[in-house]
Amino acid sequence: MQMSMARRWLLNTYYTVSTPVRWTMEQVRRYRRHEPVQVVFYHRVADDVPNPWTISTQSFAEQIDWLSQRFDLVSMAEAQYRIERGKNRRPTAVVTFDDGYADNMNFALPLLLERKIPVTYFVSTDYIRNGKPFPHDVELGQPLAPNTVDDIRRLAEAGIEIGAHTRSHANVAELDSQQLQHEIVGSKQDLELMLGREVRYFAFPYGQPQHLSGEAFQVAQQAGFAGVCSAYGGYNFPGSDSFHLERFHGDPEFVRFKHWLSVDAMKVFRSPSFDPELTAMPQVHERQECIVGERG
């Protein structure tokens, strides 16, 4: 959502004025080894057909540059490891994508692969298989192409972690038990048949608290997923639930993006939350040497 000039000025001013406080708090967190793991999600990176879930190539590159300079950019498994061990000294971030848009093959994914930045790419399998555009794009008169099965196989072979995002981009809060099995378990099975390998992660479509349910979390856990992602904005502090990773949107408004990712105290206390009544996964995930920009 585009900001008004007045709101952008106010947020820029707040961000600038609060920067010394943010820096001081970061030093405290680093000393206490309590730096959060922050997960960012994007949908589509392209310079045509702007909509709320598209970011331009220039803005995306600018955000990746900013993240690379300030964070360890790690895989999902490494992120879970840092959360589970209860201590994390370095600012840490994970890059993810939702839905599966063909345009991401043109700029965003090649950029991440070139820089060896880990990425998890969540796709809704019905659209990958049938090639039809997402209903939310059709409603806007923008029938954008999804990735193909061949795209997903190529990405997996290149080292990108492919994750499930239901079959039909479903709102899981509206589904009964049988439908949850079809959408969550079925999407995992679809991808494993496509790729010939285990699919370890799942992201809830829409991802706001009202789009989640405790039963959906249970189905995902029972299906064998190592972790799930929501999308309502939140900081994953060491010692918190490593099965459920909260994510921030890769907002096209750069000041809002920096504001969220630099750990705003007001955001920590005011973020919406969802309690699926699940504890963190008991096993410690094996640490993977899939880290970019590690710093002391």
pLDDT confidence of residue 274: 72
Is the confidence at residue 207, as pLDDT, over 50? yes
pLDDT tens-digit readout, 213-225? 999 999 999 999 9
Top pLDDT among 275 and 228 is at: 228
Taken as a whole, the chain contains a residue count of 296
Which of left, alpha, beta for 233 (phi over 0: left; psi -120 to 50: alpha)?
left
pLDDT confidence of residue 294: 39
Q: How many CB atoms lie within 10 A of CB 281?
A: 17
pLDDT-based confidence at residue 288 (cuts at 50, 70, 90): very low
d(CA 239, CA 82): 9
Residue type, position 121, single letter: Y
Give this prediction's pTM.
0.88
* pLDDT, averaged across the chain: 89
pLDDT confidence of residue 29: 82
Sorted by where each starts, the structural domains of the chain and their CATH numbers stand as 5-270+285-292 (3.20.20.370)
pLDDT tens-digit readout, 254-270? 988 988 888 876 666 56
Residue by residue, DSSP assigns the chain as -PPPHHHHHHHHHHHHHHHHHHHHHHHHHHHHTBPPEEEEEE-EE-SSS--TTEE-HHHHHHHHHHHHHHSEEE-HHHHHHHHHTS-B-S-EEEEEE-S-BGGGGTTHHHHHHHTT--EEEEE-HHHHHH-PPPHHHHTTT--PPBPPHHHHHHHHHTTPEEEE--SS---GGG--HHHHIIIIIHHHHHHHHHHSS---EEE-SS-SGGG--HHHHHHHHHTT-SEEE--S---B-TTS-SSEE-EEE--SSHHHHHHHHT--HHHHHH------S-PPPSSPPPP---EES---
pLDDT tens-digit readout, 52-84? 899 999 999 999 999 999 999 999 999 999 999
Across 109-135, average pLDDT: 98
Of 246, 240, 238, 247, the residue nearest 281 (C-alpha): 240
Across 157-167, average pLDDT: 99
